[in-house]
Amino acid sequence: MSDHTDERETFHHDPIGHAEARAGMTVGELADSYGEAGIGASDIHEAVDIYSEMLDDDVTTFFGLAGAMVPTGMRAIVSELIRDGHIDVLVTTGANCTHDSIEAIGGKHHHGEVTPEDRTEREHDETLRDEGVDRIYNVYLPQEHFALFENHLRDEVFSTLEEEGPVSIQRMTEELGRANSEVNDREDVPEDAGVLAAAYENDVPVYCPAFQDSVLGLQAWMYSQTSEFTVDALADMTQITDIAYEADSAGAMVVGGGVPKNYVLQTMLVSPDAYDYAVQLTMDPSNTGGLSGATLEEARSWGKLEKDARNVSVYADATITLPLVVAAARERIGE
């Protein structure tokens, strides 16, 4: 058999090794072991490597949090990152703001079922509706918590903002974080005050560009029908683009897709520089042309990433990958 090694210009990478899974391994050791393997395992390893660099104090970190990551149990991870100074800008959904606030003031989400053995999924959801329970895949939320949330917004948030005239969405999330923090402490709620409270307490701006698409947005609209409360949807643009413009080095951690992903990435379109680092955790495929699964290489073509930026996309359930990547990266930097 002839040896073509010298003729293969692109065949220069290390051979595949084999990941380990042994008792007593730390998360960081497991992520390092993933680097020996291929496909998604090697992507996780690279995500940890890149995110570790993003946690440097000299990097301004934009964190995009899509979907319903809070009710599915990712709340503490994000709030702890904020409190430890690892998120400089948070962009999220109205759903996450809503569910974060519900837990801050005493509500809880519960483990549930997608389809019980004795009925179809439709029959199951009809029963849940009759019993006043909302379902997010295998997570349940009693509907009475939304009434609690409505009262919280009207008594603690909107009534204060009404006096300020038109407010930005970021100002609204800031006031909601303040209210969450104060009520959580005042009522001695056993659950942590959460993401918005941590952002308020640590001066981290929270942007929620599509907040109308949520119970938070519905409640804001209803309150505005009988009051002077008004939200200026464009007011945040100056603030977030200024942060991007002034950053010496910037990184994007994008969990999920949709509006938070695009809002994080588009901030660089009006800046002289672009992201130096980017990690994307998504389940959406890139070949449909949708933004949620679009590769970060594609974002580079728009000028959202520097040509030499370090980036990786991990295609897997973010409730699995986010804790793993964050824990391994924090282990690597000694936290």
Annotated catalytic sites, by residue?
304
Q: Can you give the pLDDT of all 335 residues of the chain as single tens digits?
A: 556 556 676 766 778 888 888 999 999 999 989 988 889 889 999 999 999 999 999 999 999 999 889 999 999 999 999 999 999 999 999 999 999 999 999 999 999 999 988 899 999 999 999 999 999 999 999 999 999 999 999 999 999 999 999 999 999 999 999 999 999 999 999 999 999 999 999 999 999 999 999 999 999 999 999 999 999 999 999 999 999 999 999 999 999 999 999 999 999 999 999 999 999 999 988 888 888 988 999 999 999 999 999 999 999 999 999 999 999 999 999 97
pLDDT tens for each residue of 92-108? 999 999 999 999 999 99
- Single pTM value for the model: 0.94
Q: Taking Cα atoms as reference points, which of 262, 231, 254 lies closest to residue 312? A: 254
Q: Which residues contact 271 (CB under 8 A, 6 or more apart)?
A: 241, 244, 245, 247
286/291 Cα distance (integer angstroms):
8
Whole-number percent of the chain with pLDDT over 70? 96
Per DSSP, which regions of 45-128 are E strands? 60-65, 89-92, 110-111
pLDDT for the residue numbered 68: 87
Cα angle: 50, vertex 275, 210; to 5 degrees: 105
Classify residue 199 as exposed, middle or buried by CB count within 10 Å of its CB (0-12, 13-18, 19+).
buried
167/208 Cα distance (integer angstroms):
13
Biggest CA–CA distance in the chain, Å, is 83
pLDDT tens for each residue of 53-95? 999 999 999 999 998 899 999 999 999 999 999 999 999 999 9
